[in-house]
Amino acid sequence: METLLTASPDLSRHPCFNAGVQGKFGRVHLPVAPKCNIKCNYCNRKYDCVNESRPGVTSTVLTPEQALVYMDKVLTAEPRITVAGIAGPGDPFANASETLQTMHLLRQNYPELILCLSTNGLALAPYVDEVADIGVSHVTVTMNGVDPEITKNIYSYVRDGNILYRHRQAAELLMARQFAAIEKLKSKGVTVKINFITVPGVNEHHAEETARVMASMGVDLFNCMALLPSADTPFADLVEPDKAMMDTLRNSCEKHLPQMRHCRRCRADAVGLLGKDKSGEMAGCLKTCASMPAAPQKVRPYVAVASLEGMLVNQHLGETTKFLIYGKEEKGYTLIEERRAPMPGGGLGRWEALTRLLYDCRAVMVSDMGVSPREVFTRAGITPITMSGFIEAGLEAVYTGKGISALKRRTKKSCDGGGCLGTGTGCG
């Protein structure tokens, strides 16, 4: 997607990835992702515990629209915030729609912000293209080892869709998904940090090997973290690794990757400078934003068009790799920009990604589309129009509401996105 940014984020201002600026710039975690797809033996996700500072804890959960309002209030209260991230309280990609919609809204309204995500990586890979297109520059993946015989002892289960995996099978699936996601992130130029949770008696001997393997994949930073035992978890009775152990592990891991030594094990609603968190002070504001009613539908000024040459509407939704975005002016219609679409294939995930891509469009004009994408676009408030003919005629019909039925194309084929040839002649 080509974005109309008025500023470019200064990536050196990320206090988690650049220890030298941790006293100058801050971050906010927006708690829009309540669901999780993994049960870690060290995790207890309490929602309303203002006296605890650890991952998985938040005072409440926001919708993407509420997160945007909260972001404005955060920047007013603490203008040194340079980073907006999502780190739970579950996993961002177990809540992919909410996560990506929030990122889109932030990029649209605060182009100068650094955007980051923290995930277990299980469901990340299918969304990497969209993550990179939005401009998310930093992603943290929690990876507690690269040997499933070791990591099988860290997870109670891994859930992939409706299927629950346990033991070694769960560890193997998670590791394969993490490797695929990291490789894809690095191919897109995204900065990647690994969080390694040190569990005494389970994986502490495996930290250096994990750092070595991650270095071979091009990872940028390694965060060797001490287990924080939490009540009501299988690891509740383990002893937290002491400073001497962690220093030894970090020194060994540093042979392969730079180490993050200033991690604060932040809450899912953390806000402020590292070491000077204001989540307690902002808890009231956060809860107020969470109680706000849904925002009214914003005006959608544009129309998206699938066209091969920029004159005719002649591409199916399933085959198009870009959209022409048109707007109305006093003397007619003008091409605003081109937006690169996710690659064909991917089914429902692609249709939902397209609605986020075309968030400011009132209609999408294509030569054909299937029933499923039509329903997805309609739910998102974007009118799906299948037609053949000149783009300008279609725009006139959309903006005036007259004559659209005469443009509709009669077709014997239905486009489901799985077999498009890319020629404008239909789906095979």
Q: Which amino acid is at 244?
A: A
Q: What is the per-residue pLDDT across 314-359, written as a single tens digit (0 to 9) for each?
A: 999 999 999 999 999 888 899 988 898 888 877 787 888 888 888 8
Helix runs in 254-403, H state only: 279-290, 348-357, 371-379, 391-400
- 114-128, 267-281, 324-338: range with lowest mean pLDDT: 267-281
Q: Is residue 295 part of a domain?
A: no
Q: Is residue 113 part of a domain?
A: yes
pLDDT at 403: 66
Nearest residue to 60 via CA among 292, 223, 243, 245: 292
Whether 210 and 256 map to the same domain: the answer is yes
Strands 163-165 and 191-198: unpaired
pLDDT at 298: 65
Whether 330 and 274 map to the same domain: the answer is no
What rounded mean pLDDT belongs to the chain? 85
Q: What is the per-residue pLDDT across 366-409, written as a single tens digit (0 to 9) for each?
A: 999 999 999 999 988 899 999 988 999 999 999 988 766 666 55
Whether the pLDDT of residue 230 is over 80: the answer is yes
Q: Is residue 428 part of a domain?
A: no
- Of 290, 314, 345, the last residue of a domain is 290
Q: What is the CATH number for 348?
A: 3.30.420.130
Q: Rounded to whole angstroms, how far apart are CA atoms 209 and 195?
A: 14
Whether 194 and 308 map to the same domain: the answer is no
Q: What is the per-residue pLDDT across 135-144, written as a single tens digit (0 to 9) for each?
A: 999 999 999 9
> In sequence order, what E strands does 104-190 have?
114-119, 136-142, 155-160, 163-165
Whether 117 and 194 map to the same domain: the answer is yes
Whether 231 and 283 map to the same domain: the answer is yes
Biggest CA pair distance of the chain: 76
Whether the pLDDT of residue 20 is over 80: the answer is no
- 54-68, 158-172, 371-385: range with lowest mean pLDDT: 54-68
Q: Report the Cα 19 to chain-centroid distance in Å.
A: 24
pLDDT at 404: 63
User: Tokens in use for 358?
Assistant: 């075309």
Provide the number of structural domains found in the chain.
Answer: 2
Q: Rounded to whole angstroms, how far apart are CA atoms 252 and 196?
A: 13
Whether the pLDDT of residue 111 is over 60: the answer is yes
- Of 263, 290, 317, the last residue of a domain is 290
Q: Is residue 425 part of a domain?
A: no
Whether 261 and 361 map to the same domain: the answer is no
Q: Is residue 326 part of a domain?
A: yes
Whether 234 and 317 map to the same domain: the answer is no
pLDDT at 386: 93
Residues 94 and 36 sit within 8 Å (Cβ to Cβ)? yes
Average pLDDT over residues 49-61: 64
Whether the pLDDT of residue 169 is over 90: the answer is yes
Residues 302 and 361 sit within 8 Å (Cβ to Cβ)? yes
Q: Rounded to whole angstroms, how far apart are CA atoms 20 and 18?
A: 5
Whether 73 and 218 map to the same domain: the answer is yes
* Structure-model confidence comparison of residues 166 and 44, the more confident one: 166
Q: Is residue 427 part of a domain?
A: no
**pTM: predicted TM-score of the whole model, two decimal places:** 0.75
Whether 337 and 274 map to the same domain: the answer is no
Q: Rounded to whole angstroms, how far apart are CA atoms 147 and 176?
A: 11
User: Tokens in use for 335?
Assistant: 């091409």
Whether 275 and 321 map to the same domain: the answer is no
pLDDT at 46: 62
Q: What is the CATH number for 237?
A: 3.20.20.70
Average pLDDT over residues 15-26: 77
Nearest residue to 73 via CA among 276, 281, 264, 299: 281
Q: Rounded to whole angstroms, how far apart are CA atoms 219 and 216?
A: 8
Whether 285 and 331 map to the same domain: the answer is no
Nearest residue to 121 via CA among 53, 181, 165, 193: 181
- Of 290, 325, 351, the last residue of a domain is 290
Q: Rounded to whole angstroms, how far apart are CA atoms 304 and 327?
A: 9
Q: Is residue 420 part of a domain?
A: no
Q: Report the Cα 45 to chain-centroid distance in Å.
A: 20
At 422, is the pLDDT very low, low, confident or very high (cuts 50, 70, 90)? Answer: very low
Structural domain that includes position 329: 302-407
Q: Is residue 415 part of a domain?
A: no
- 75-89, 142-156, 241-255: range with lowest mean pLDDT: 75-89
Whether 103 and 232 map to the same domain: the answer is yes
pLDDT at 152: 95
